[in-house]
Chain A
Amino acid sequence: MSRPSAQAVWTVFLLSLIGALVLQLIALPDSLSAARPLWLPLMLAYWALREPQLPALVPAFIAGLMLDVLYAAPFGQHALGLVVVVYLVVRLRSFFIIFPLWQATIALIPAWALYCFLMFWVDGATQHEAEVWLRWLPAISTTLFWPLLWSVMELIRQPGGDDD
C-alpha cells in the first residue's frame, strides 16, 4: 500500500487530538468520572508508536496546555505528563512494536501509571489535596481502552484492512 501523504497524516493526527480533547471533556456520571480513560495520552501514544516520524512532542505539549486550561489545573501540569509519556513511548518504540497487541497493552501500563503519578505529584506540590486511591483508576481504564483505540484508529486510517 502506498503511504498516505504527509499532509493527510497531519490532518488525521490533529483531528484525532481534538477528538481526544473532546472525549476528555464529555460529561460522565459522578461514579464514572474518576475512572475516565486518559484519552490524550492514549491518542498520543498511538501516534508515537504508529507514525514515529511525526514530531509529537510539541503537539503533546500544546494539547496538554489546552487540557490545563479546560480543567483549570495549574498551567503546564498535563503538558508535563503528556511530554513525558510521549518521550517514553518514542524512546521505547522498538521495544513496544515487537509485541502483539495484547502484550503491548500490558507493556504500556507503566506509562499510564507514570502519567497518573505525575498528575498526583503536581497536585500535591500545588496544595490541591485529593483522594489518593481513586487516582490510579484511570491507569486501569486506559489499559482496557488501548486495544480498542488501536483497532479503531487502524480501521479509520486504513478502511479495507489491508495487511501491509
Chain B
Amino acid sequence: MNSLHDSYHRPLFPRGPGLGLRTLLLIALALTLIFNDMRGDSLKPARAWTAYALTPVVWLASVPARLIGMARGIDTRSHIESENAALKQQQFVLSAKLSKMDALEAENRRLRELLASSARLADQVLVAEIVAVNQDPYRHQITLNRGSRDGIYRGQALVDAYGVMGQVIDVAPNSCKALLVTDPDHGIPVEINRTGLQTIAVGLGDERGLRLPFLPSNADIKNGDLLVSSSLGGRFPAGYPVGKVYDVKPVAGEHFMEAYAYPAARLNQGRQALLVWNHDSESAADAAAAAQTAADQTHTPSSATAAQAPVAAPAPAAKPASPPAEPPAADAGTRAQP
C-alpha cells in the first residue's frame, strides 16, 4: 500500500464546491429520495427505467448459476431413459386424471350456474421464468421475466404448481419484482379449508414460513389444517393453497392465539411461476376508475364516496357469507380493534 506513486497533484486552486459540500448535497439528495420513495409512487417510473437499463447486469449475474445448472444437466443416458419412462407413466396417469377433471369442471360449472354463482373456475394465467432472486437476505423477493408489456400489473398474484407464492410489487417494461409470502412485509387473506375461518397470514421473514396472528382463543384451528387463499381484499384469486399449519399456541399475556404455517408453494425450488389474472380485482380497478371519472365529471362528493366505498374497503363489504357463525365474527372483531 505504501507503494503508491506520488504523481497525484492536488490542484493548487481547487474549483467548484469542496468535497464536504458535495457529500452533504448528495446525502441530502439520497435522504430526499428515500423519503419520497416511502411516501408515494412518484419515483416508480425512474425505478422501472433503471431496472430496464440494468437488464444486462442482471443477466450477467445469472450466468454462473446457469453454467452450474448446465453442468448439472449432464447426465448418463440410462438415467435419462429411466427418468423419461417414469415421466411418461406419470404423464399418462395425470392426463387420465385431467380428463376426469374436465368432466368435473364442466359439471361444477353447470351446478354453479344452477346456483347463479358468478365464481369462475378457469383463471387467465401466464407462465413466467424466475430470472433472479433478491440477494439481500432480508427481502424475500424474486424477479420475473414478464413486465408491463405482457400486461402485468402491480398486485398481481403469483402461484406455482403447489400454492400461492406471492404478489407483484414492481413492474418494469420487461421484468417485474414479486414479494414472496414469507417476506415480513407480506400479508395474505386466507381461509382455513376445514372450517372456513377467515384470517390473515403474514410472512415470518425466514424459512419457517407464515404466522397467523390475532386468532380468537376459541378459534377452531389445529395442526395440519390447510390454508387456502381467500378473495377478501380482491387481490388474490380464491382457492389456491397457501400453507399448512404446523403449530398453534396461545400468546402469553394476550387473549389471542397464534398459528404458524409452512408455505405450500415451493418457494426456493424451480424456475417457473404462474402469474394469475384476478378478474375481480381488475374489474374492481375498472370500477374504481369509472367511479373516479364519474366523480370528476359530476363533482358531487356524496355520489363519489358512495361509488368508491365498495372499492376502497372491499374486505368488510365482502364478509364471509357461509362459514360457521361464531369464529369469523369474533375474528372480525379482533381484527377491527387494533
Interface string of A65-82 (1 = CB under 8 A from B): 110011111111101100
Greatest chain B CB density within 10 A among A76, A84, A163 is at: A76
| Residue in chain A with minimal CB distance to B62 | A27
**What is the CA–CA distance of A71 and B30 in the complex, to the nearest angstrom?**
16
Within 8 A of B (CB), among A13-67: 18, 21-22, 24-28, 30, 33-34, 36, 50-53, 57-58, 61, 64-66
When distances are taken between beta carbons in the complex, the residues of chain B under 8 Å from A83 are: 23, 26-27, 30
Interface residues contributed by chain A, number (CB under 8 Å): 60
Beta-carbon contact of B34 and A69 below 8 Å:
no
Least Cβ–Cβ distance between B8 and chain A, in angstroms? 6
Residues of A within 8 A of B135 (CB): 24-28, 33, 36, 71
Q: Is A157 at the interface (CB under 8 A from chain B)?
A: no
Q: Could you tell me if A164 and B2 are in contact, using CB atoms closer than 8 angstroms?
A: no
With known contacts A36-B135, A71-B135, A80–B30 Cβ distance under 8 A = yes
- Chain A residues positioned under 8 Å from B31 (CB to CB): 76, 80
A34, A70, A84, A129: the one contacting B54 at CB < 8 Å is A70
Determine the chain B residues whose CB is within 8 A of the CB of A58 once the complex forms.
26
- A134 sits at the interface (CB 8 A): yes
- Whether the pair B205, A122 counts as a contact (CB closer than 8 A) is no
Contact of B1 among A3, A28, A65, A101 (CB under 8 A): A101
Which residue of the partner chain, among A1, A36, A98, A129, contacts B184 with CB atoms under 8 Å?
A129
A99 lies within 8 A of chain B by Cβ: yes
Residue in B closest to A97 when the chains form the complex, CB atoms: B4
The contact of A97 among B2, B132, B207, by CB within 8 Å, is: B2
Indicate if B73 sits at the interface (CB-CB under 8 A).
no
Given known contacts A66-B50, A87-B19, A128-B138, A76 and B1 CB-to-CB distance under 8 angstroms: no
Chain B residue, CB-CB nearest to A147: B1
CB distance from B12 to the nearest CB of A (A): 14
Chain A residue numbers with a CB within 8 Å of B170 are 72
Contact assessment for A26 and B136 in the assembled complex, using a CB-CB cutoff below 8 Å = no
- Per-residue CB contact flags for chain B residues 191-235 toward chain A (1 = under 8 Å, else 0) read 000000000000001110000000000000000000000000000
Residues of B within 8 A of A149 (CB): none
Q: Which residues of A contact B60 (CB under 8 A)?
A: 22
* Bound complex: CA A122 to CA B170 (Å): 20
Known pairs A70-B58, A76-B32; A129 contacts B205 (CB<8 A): yes
B139 contacts the other chain (Cβ, under 8 Å)? yes
Chain B residues with CB under 8 Å of A73's CB are 136, 139
Interface contact B23-A123, CB-CB below 8 Å: no
Are the CB atoms of A52 and B8 closer together than 8 Å? yes
CB-CB < 8 A to A50: which residues of B?
4
- Nearest chain A CB to B275 CB, angstrom units: 18
What separation, in Å, do the CA atoms of A52 and B138 have in the docked complex? 34
Q: Does A136 contact B (CB under 8 A)?
A: no
In the complex, chain B residues 28-59 whose Cβ is within 8 Å of any chain A Cβ = 29-34, 36-38, 43, 46-47, 50-51, 54, 57-58
Q: Are B19 and A64 in contact (CB under 8 A)?
A: no
Partner of A71 from B37, B136, B206 at Cβ < 8 Å? B136
Known: A83-B26, A97-B1. Is A77-B139 also a contact (CB below 8 A)? no
Say how far B229's CB is from chain A's closest CB, in angstroms: 23
- Output the least CB separation between B51 and chain A (Å): 5
Known: A25-B58, A72-B134, A73-B136. Contact between A98 and B2, CB under 8 A? Answer: yes
Judge if A104 is at the interface, Cβ distance under 8 Å: yes
Chain A residues with Cβ under 8 A from B307's Cβ?
none
In the complex, chain B residues whose CB is within 8 Å of the CB of A34 = 137
Q: How far is the CA of A82 from the CA of B276 in the complex (A)?
A: 39
17 inter-chain pairs at a CB distance below 8 angstroms, sorted by A residue, are A26-B65, A27-B132, A27-B133, A28-B135, A57-B23, A64-B30, A66-B57, A69-B50, A70-B58, A74-B33, A75-B34, A76-B31, A83-B23, A99-B2, A104-B1, A122-B34, A150-B1
- Which 4 A/B pairs are nearest by Cβ-Cβ distance? A76-B33, A25-B61, A130-B138, A80-B30
Q: Identify the B interface with A (CB < 8 A).
A: 1-5, 7-8, 19-20, 22-23, 26-27, 29-34, 36-38, 43, 46-47, 50-51, 54, 57-58, 60-62, 64-65, 132-139, 141, 169-170, 177, 184-185, 205-207, 268
Q: Which A positions have Cβ atoms within 8 angstroms of B? A: 1, 3, 18, 21-22, 24-28, 30, 33-34, 36, 50-53, 57-58, 61, 64-66, 69-77, 79-80, 83-84, 86-87, 90-91, 96-101, 104, 122-123, 125-126, 128-131, 134, 150, 163-164
